[in-house]
Amino acid sequence: MNDLNRVLYECRGHVGVITLNRPEVLNAFDRDMYEGVNRALQLFRDDSNAYMVTAKPLIAAVHGHCIGEGVNLMLACDLVVADETVKVAVSEARIGINAVDIPLKLARKIGYAKAFALLVPGDAKDSAWCQAAGLVEIVTPVGEAQSRAFELATEIVQSCAPLAVQAQKETLWRAVFEGEAAGRRAGMNWRELTRSSQDYAEGQKAFIEKRSPVFKGQ
């Protein structure tokens, strides 16, 4: 928990949960909110109980209106779960100014045409549009986004080797932001590490024995 309780952090099992906690103003960002998010992400990064900004996967659970910095935060996550109430809007053009970070992230995430359609004229897009565009991976009934996101995080924790997940994330990130050659270098470097890991040996053994592996991040 951080200053003024604007952003909360807790670890449930091996899943870190960051919650924006300013409902009286629909989680609008102020200076303390920025500081709270940064502190929560640092806690998540350094929390030995949340297995793996952070090399650990980030899953967003979104409901209601998502605008401004909310969109920026959503785009910083690896997976997005949204309920049917979601309305995503980037409406800076309507007040005579341009967003900077959001268009850059949108271009990489969903391509030029869909990104432009979200930016101009700036009207809100519903969860169905966002899923079709590639902004959202999973759409849930009203009020179920957080529980579904937690289920997905728990599935990753229980079924995937931490080092392998971290390797996949870095390989993908570098391929998107630095180019295919950088992504391949990262992937091959990680391959050497994962091949010699205890988790890889455990994964092979579990497959042969037809049981669920028990990964330890080593």
Average pLDDT over residues 41-59: 73
pLDDT of residue 53: 52
Q: Which fold has domain 3-158?
A: 2-enoyl-CoA Hydratase; Chain A, domain 1 (3.90.226)
Crossing angle, helix 101-110 and helix 112-119, to 10 degrees?
Answer: 140
Residue 49 banded pLDDT, cuts 50, 70, 90: low
More confident residue, 139 or 45: 139
Longest dimension (CA), the chain: 63
Give the DSSP letter of residue 2: -
- Closest C-alpha among 78, 15, 6 to residue 38: 6
Residue 4 banded pLDDT, cuts 50, 70, 90: low
pLDDT exceeds 90 at position 46: no
pTM: 0.83
| Tokens 């391959």 belong to residue | 191
pLDDT of residue 2: 42
Using CA atoms, how far apart are residues 34 and 141, in angstroms rounded to an integer?
29
Using CA atoms, how far apart are residues 5 and 29, in angstroms rounded to an integer?
13
Q: Do 3-158 and 161-209 agree at the fold level?
A: no
Say whether domain 161-209 belongs to CATH 1.10.12: yes
SS3 at position 211: coil
127-166 pLDDT, tens digit per residue, is: 999 999 999 999 999 999 999 999 999 999 999 999 999 9
169-213 pLDDT, tens digit per residue, is: 999 999 988 999 999 999 999 999 999 999 999 999 999 999 999
Instruction: Put residue 56 in one of left, alpha, beta given phi > 0 → left and psi -120 to 50 → alpha.
Output: beta
**Helices (H), ranges, the chain:** 31-46, 69-75, 101-110, 112-119, 127-133, 145-159, 162-178, 180-195, 198-209
Residue 48 banded pLDDT, cuts 50, 70, 90: low
51-102 pLDDT, tens digit per residue, is: 745 788 999 999 999 998 899 999 989 999 999 999 999 999 999 999 999 9
Q: Where are the domains of the chain?
A: 3-158, 161-209
